[in-house]
Structure 1
Amino acid sequence: MKESPAQAALVPFGNSAMALGFSGSLGNIEAYISAVNRLPMLSHEEEVSLARRLRDKNDLGAAQKLVLSHLRLVVSIARGYLGYGLPHADLIQEGNIGLMKAVKRFDPDQNVRLVSYAMHWIKAEMHEYILKNWRLVKVATTKAQRKLFFNLRSHKESLDAMTPAQVDDLAKSLNVKREEVIEMETRMSGRDIALEAQSDDEDDKFAPIAYLSSDANEPTRALEAQQYDRMQSEGLATALGKLDARSRRIVEARWLANDDGSGATLHELADEFGVSAERIRQIESSALKKMKGTLAAYA
């Protein structure tokens, strides 16, 4: 059976990993965990020596040994995040990425064990993965919300809503506002809703897709809007440009002078040009007919 991308990525260095302790098929998570738990751990002296070889000589073989010897740490940390309902293999995969970042940045002269340094990077990658994938809509975007997200589940004593006293205690211990605790608890306890109805009966009209969709972006309407905008700008300017000066003045004064459509009257324009109101009407009618023909190309 072909391995999934998550399973294939669990072993960071492929065949090299096999040579350092992996054996048999790693096509499932149980086999992977069993394999990493059999990998030898490094002494402090070995860890420092390998880290210096990586830092000073860019020795990728040393980096492999450092990563492989700490894969069991990633498995252990990932087990603590299974309560979020995400695949164990995916959590381990993200943790392995964090471990490799830690190995790359590790300074052996700081007198700190890699296991302590790497925990931050491993958890950071897992946290990011959980926040992106736990729900379609992100539930934690600020620092305070992230703190709440990863602490609220462990502070709740049951599945029931938190009491006011519990909300106050948690807000105080995490140094956040009680309103933020209430909001995060509401968001985490809410269930996911299918965007589209799961049946073909009358319930379809109550599915979110029925009232969240917008006609504004429907292709036909969008095309019509573009054509209208083009006609309003380019088309109108072209049509007016084909009129003689008097006809253009009459059309603009009658129809384009004010946004509310209250343009000049026939008699006002008759006085301006020294002709009868009927003559102004005839000029206007002829001009509008000519403009209509021009604008037809933009419709």
Structure 2
Amino acid sequence: MNLSSTANTALSVRDPWALVPSLGNLDAYISAVNRLPMLTQEEETRFARRLRDDADVESAGRLVLSHLRLVVSVSRQYLGYGLPHGDLIQEGNVGLMKAVKRFDPEAGVRLVSYALHWIKAEIHEYILKNWRMVKLATTKAQRKLFFNLRSMKQGLKSDASDANAHRNNLSAAEIDSVARALNVKPSEVIEMETRLSGGDVALEPQTDDGEESYAPIAYLADDSSEPTRVLEARRRDALSSDGLVRALAVLDDRSRRIVEERWLKVNDDSSGGMTLHDLAAEYGVSAERIRQIEVAAMKKMRKAMEAA
């Protein structure tokens, strides 16, 4: 389709969107919307009244179509946030459609002036949601400070000397200057500056370095409530109490006393129970024989616990 030959009749077709390419081809889209003619004030008022009184969808489309170039122009002001230009335009178009829906032709203002607020509001919301994973500004005052502080910081950097141009953080004097200009407290400027200076940290390791990779997920994850861990903990607690009692019950008196002295008894000085030689002297056998009895007793206890 030849956009040049159809630009003058763009607003007269039944489907005014037919002449606007997809945002997938950004250059073609911008070229197309910039060639579409603007509405006169009389046309704008007539279409707005039709939309208000008769809910005429075609009139709404013509109002939106004639202001798409405004969205493109506004969206360019926010390219410094590193977000895709097409996404910024798309969000701005949403704001434009909201403005068209609410526009009152009897208010005495042009749609371009009324829509500007809605376009910026949608773009601001998109930036705040997507610029960082964690929201930087939640209240109206914080949002205003967020955008104003970024623009003022860029101005301060451009005015700074070459020796200080590399600095990222504001000095105390610059913080006071910004606070006075924006009519906020210096502490609020410092807090937002801290948020802006921070960055997102990936929870998962970004490279497969084996044992060398160490990301926050390694120490932030709480797996204490994970089902398998809960079952393991219950099983371990059961074996250390009732299971141990049942396992000791399968042993003869001598074997049980050897196991208790060697593994279960703790003296006041935390030195443990009797040694192999102590038990060997008590029972009149060698230390090796006591060790053999201990090994056999542990095997019996293990089988008893596995069967429980």
TM-score (norm 2): 0.64
- Structure 2 counterpart of 1:122: 119
State the partner residue of 1:165: 173
SS of 1:124's equivalent? helix
Aligned in 2, Cα 1:62/1:95: closer, same or farther, shift over 3 Å? same
Question: Could you tell me whether the CA contact under 8 Å between 2:47 and 2:60 is conserved in 1?
Answer: yes
| 1:153 paired to 2:150 | yes
Distance 2:198 2:140 in 1: 21
What CA distance in whole angstroms lies between the structure 1 residues aligned with 2:142 and 2:126?
15
Match of 1:221 in 2: 229
- 1:104 paired with 2:101, answer yes
- Is the 8 Å Cα contact of residues 48 and 104 (structure 2) preserved in structure 1? yes
Contact 2:17 2:61 in 1 (8 A): no
3-state SS, counterpart of residue 199 of structure 1: coil
Moved over 4 A (4+): 222-225
Give the letter aligned to residue 100 of structure 1. M
Q: Is the 8 A contact 1:167 1:182 kept in 2?
A: yes
Conserved? CA contact 1:54–1:63, under 8 Å? yes
Q: Deviation of residue 185 (structure 1)?
A: 1.2
Secondary structure of the residue aligned to 1:215 is coil
Residue in structure 1 matching 2:204, options 191, 196, 199: 196
Distance 1:89 1:219 in 2: 45
Match of 2:78 in 1: 81
* 1:57 aligned partner, one-letter code: D
Q: More deviation in 176-185 or 82-91?
A: 176-185
Give the Cα–Cα distance (whole angstroms) in 2 for the partners of residues 47 and 64 of structure 1.
12
Q: What is aligned with 2:31?
A: 34
Match for residue 187 of structure 1 among 195, 200, 207: 195
Indicate how the Cα distance of structure 1 residues 169 and 26 shifts in structure 2: closer, same or farther if over 3 A, else same. closer
| Separation in 2, partners of 1:80, 1:177 | 27
- If you compute each CA radius of gyration, which structure gives the higher value, 1 or 2? 2
CA 1:25–1:149: 2 relative to 1, 3 Å: closer
Aligned residue type for 1:37: N
Give unmatched runs, 5+ long, in structure 2: 1-13, 158-165, 236-308
**1:218, distance to aligned residue in structure 2 (A):** 2.0
Mapping for residues 57-68 of structure 1, pairs under 5 Å: 57-68=54-65
Quick check: 1:175 aligned with 2:172?
Answer: no
CA 18–123 in structure 1, closer or farther in 2 if over 3 Å, else same: closer
Q: Name the % identity.
A: 68
**Deviation of 1:26 (Å):** 5.8
Q: Secondary structure at the match of 1:40?
A: coil
Secondary structure of the 1:110 match is coil
What is the match of residue 16 of structure 1?
A: 15
Structure 2: which amino acid aligns with 1:208? P
Are 1:48 and 2:45 an aligned pair?
yes
Structure 1 residue identity aligned to 2:175: V
Once the two structures are TM-superposed, the CA of residue 25 in structure 1 deviates from its matched residue by 6.8
- Are 2:132 and 2:199, in contact at CA under 8 Å, matched by a contact in 1? no
**Can you list the C-alpha shifts for 1:253-288, whole angstroms capped at 9, x where unaligned?**
xxxxxxxxxxxxxxxxxxxxxxxxxxxxxxxxxxxx
TM-score (norm 1): 0.66
- Determine which of 192, 205, 212 is the counterpart of 2:220: 212
State the partner residue of 1:140: 137
Q: Report if the CA contact (8 A) 1:99-1:121 is conserved.
A: yes
The structural deviation recorded for 1:145 is 1.6
1:211 and 1:48, CA in 2 relative to 1: closer, same or farther beyond 3 A?
same
User: Within 5 A, what are the aligned runs for 1:235-250?
Assistant: none
Post-superposition shift, 1:16? Answer: 2.1
Q: Is the 8 A contact 1:106 1:114 kept in 2?
A: yes
| Partner AA of 1:16 in structure 2 | D
* Change over 3 Å in CA distance of 1:204–1:218 after alignment to 2: farther
Aligned-partner Cα distance in 1 for 2:46–2:127: 35
Matching residue's letter, 1:162 = L
Write the deviation string for residues 111-170 of structure 1: whole angstroms up to 9, x where unpaired. 100000001111111111111101011111122221121011111122521111110111
